[in-house]
Structure 1
């Protein structure tokens, strides 16, 4: 096959349907931005889970002076009850689950409380005596937090067993919903891109029906006739994919690494190397999308 002829046919087709080709590029760009954003968001969620769940602790809050829990009817936790809870945390029964135990006194809890709510009205109204002593338990497997929760249910001197996962899980649920929404938009836009590519190929084939007729008469093969149309759609889609990768790179480079890291330095964020992991997938989707739409359209409207 003459490469020069092929390039000329592609250029001719793109010139004749320039507006439609630009539309294909833009729709592919938008759809793949959503696909890429969904993928990157899922990578971010996974990275955040690894970061936070590795630091998750189970807090065993001991009875304070004014506790109203059924296990605190005798008043504030006694030294014997406090020692008994620690002994249970270090017992052979919980040893397979517990990695470390740290005691937090009222003074420590009050200091952390003041740092956490610094500058708010609640920080000024709280007193050290109102806060609970607690044991901060780091688990070997954070998913096994219910073992500790159930173990100390009804234990005298223990007001409440609180797992930090209960605070984090709703947050991650929101992020997963956002990922699903981005995926939904991506599916809609991909369908729109496929339809637009099919329409573009159909118009291109119609505008060049005379040339294709002559090529049939001179014995040109099916591949020679259909390949320029196929490559037009693929080329426009790949350009859209390239723009999508560039947009995602800029968003991560300047939005996440350039701004979010400084504004909320709480955990590790995804970097530009994750964009390069997603990039081949986006290009592959673009080629597959354009190829499928083009072949389907050509087989129907350009029979050879």
Structure 2
């Protein structure tokens, strides 16, 4: 009988306070959507880092006749210097995973392919492209070992780490994800305030029912429980809608549009599996937040 009474109170409460329940659903949906977006953005950064950091290379550019750098006082690299650089790279294994030598002619052909159709190709002489050693490291974070070994070495003009260029892009993505999480935190505060206000107004509108329940000897737990469950149900519906929006964003926007329009050789994207991975945490977080907020509000404003 007690369970039937509680369920009846929950149903009556939801029917009487539809607008409040819908407000809780919407603000929860928006809050958890932004929070989920921030978590997915951070996950995308991790996926992209793992994808690119396995592919980035350290480029050791050798001196040419056109080099005006102080590192090349004697002009173009000699055969002996080139051989010495290559041998030193071989000695760094297993830190050095692979070594590719790119001649000046190969570098120019790659340059023409990259800037096909651009007038810039006509203004760049063929012999201005330096030859280089492209070095793939087994651990990209150990770039400094290669840099310290070859910066200033005879015949070497510059040493460039592609990871430094990518770090700027990843920093930008991190800022975006942190901004989304920051906005989500603001929305969570709004959700807490709205839930607390909803509970207060609902308790006031049902003060006669709660008064009767007190008279018949109902405990504080029994009186509070319908309010808490109503708020929890509205929050879980909002969490479900937020997960649905995140799934649509990833399925149609990222896995669908971006993955089919951007070459898979450029970047690896997150998938709907990442949405399902964070979905339980979003639902659990929203549920715990709604229970704590509603229970504390009832203890303060609904004296039993």
TM-score of the superposed pair, with normalisation by structure 1: 0.97
Answer yes or no: is 1:77 the counterpart of 2:70.
Answer: no
- Quote the Cα distance in structure 2 between the aligned partners of 1:126 and 1:206: 79
After superposing the two structures, state which structure 1 stretch, 190-199 or 114-123, moved more. Answer: 114-123
| Residue correspondence of structure 1 range 16-27 to structure 2 within 5 A | 16-27=16-27
After superposing the two structures, state which structure 1 stretch, 243-252 or 97-106, moved more. Answer: 97-106
The residue aligned with 1:170 is 168
1:110 to 101, 108, 111: 108
The residue aligned with 1:247 is 245
Q: Deviations over 1:167-210 (max 9, x none)?
A: 10000000111111001000000010011011111111111111
The residue aligned with 2:217 is 219
TM-score of the superposed pair, with normalisation by structure 2: 0.97
Secondary structure of the corresponding residue to residue 270 of structure 2: coil
The residue aligned with 2:301 is 301
Q: Deviations over 1:112-134 (max 9, x none)?
A: 11122222222332232110100
The residue aligned with 1:185 is 183
1:128 to 118, 126, 129: 126
Secondary structure of the corresponding residue to residue 118 of structure 1: coil
- Quote the Cα distance in structure 2 between the aligned partners of 1:272 and 1:134: 41
- 1:15: Cα distance to partner? 2.2
Secondary structure of the corresponding residue to residue 90 of structure 1: helix
The residue aligned with 1:13 is 13
- Quote the Cα distance in structure 1 between the aligned partners of 2:117 and 2:178: 37
The residue aligned with 1:285 is 285
Answer yes or no: is 1:45 the counterpart of 2:19.
Answer: no
The residue aligned with 2:197 is 199
1:159 to 145, 157, 160: 157
- 1:286: Cα distance to partner? 1.0
2:136 to 138, 142, 146: 138
- 1:16: Cα distance to partner? 2.1
- 1:223: Cα distance to partner? 1.4
Instruction: Structure 1 unaligned segments of length 5 or more: list them.
Output: none
Answer yes or no: is 1:267 the counterpart of 2:248.
Answer: no
- 1:282: Cα distance to partner? 0.7
The residue aligned with 2:86 is 86
- Quote the Cα distance in structure 2 between the aligned partners of 1:117 and 1:171: 22
Q: Deviations over 1:38-91 (max 9, x none)?
A: 111111111110000001110000012111111211111111111111111112
Which runs of 4 or more aligned residues in structure 1 lie more than 3 Å from their structure 2 counterparts after TM superposition? Answer: none
Answer yes or no: is 1:149 the counterpart of 2:147.
Answer: yes
**Aligned-residue CA RMSD (Å):** 1.1
The residue aligned with 2:55 is 55
- 1:22: Cα distance to partner? 0.9
After superposing the two structures, state which structure 1 stretch, 186-195 or 148-157, moved more. Answer: 148-157
Secondary structure of the corresponding residue to residue 71 of structure 2: helix
- Quote the Cα distance in structure 2 between the aligned partners of 1:234 and 1:26: 13
- Quote the Cα distance in structure 2 between the aligned partners of 1:21 and 1:128: 70
Secondary structure of the corresponding residue to residue 55 of structure 1: coil
The residue aligned with 2:28 is 28
Instruction: Structure 2 unaligned segments of length 5 or more: list them.
Output: none
